[in-house]
Amino acid sequence: MKSLSEIETTSKRATRAAGFSWGVSEEVGKCIRLLELFGLPGIKNLNSYFNEKKLNNFEDLKLISKENQPKKNIFCPINLGVSFLDQIRTLETFKHCSFKDIAYPILFLPFLSRASEVIGKKIIFNFDKNQFLLNFNTSISSNFTQEQCPLIAKDIKINFLDNKDNFSELEWINLYKLSEETFVEETDSLKQGAAGAGLTDND
């Protein structure tokens, strides 16, 4: 079994050999490492993408807006991912954004996961019938199965979720009241022990 370090280094070098800059290649290495860590087909999709890249001119998108559609060809998932990560502070103010036609959407996914960590918010990534919940770059939840992995995502929607508790205020109050039973009642001896060095100075 290949180590995550091997996966990252080889993916980075292969991306550079495929014509990307070293800076972009380093980002791809990190992203493929992340996909494989989460059990998603990163190496498989990167190989397929590089083979198809020789035959197709995928389109780049430098400035991302709320709604995005390619002019001629489908979007490159790598350059789009780098742009998304670079512009994430602006994009989160949109609350949501959409795209049409992204090649190999699985390769775009880890850039969104890393963006979730940058802004400290969960991100929902929907394309076609697949949905991913990205949790601050620590986990990815989805209804996705590798057998359904599409080569092109036709309709993509991204939502930025506001942070909020998953419980009611009453549930919190009840739990907090129970936790109070562990509190130690303050006594004179505890007060003296908590007051710095006390009456004796050992210096």
Residue 48 lies in a domain: yes
- Write out the chain in H/E/C secondary structure: CCCHHHHHHHHHHHHHHCCCCHHHHHHHHHHHHHHHHCCCCHHHHHHHHHHHHCCCCCECCCCCCCEECCCCCCECHHHHHHHHHHCHHHHHHHCEEEEEEEECHHHHHHHHHHHHHHHCCCEEEEECCEEEEEECCCEEEECCCHHHCCCEEEEEEEEECCCCCCCCHHHHHHHHHHHHHHCCCCCHHHHHHCCCCCCCCCC
Q: What is the pLDDT of residue 144?
A: 80
Residue 70 lies in a domain: yes
Residue 194 lies in a domain: no
* 111-139 tens-digit pLDDT: 999 999 999 999 999 998 899 999 999 99
Percent of all residues in the chain with a pLDDT value above 70, rounded to a whole number: 89
**Structural domain harbouring 127:** 4-160
Q: Model-level pTM? A: 0.85
Q: Give me the number of domains the chain comprises.
A: 1
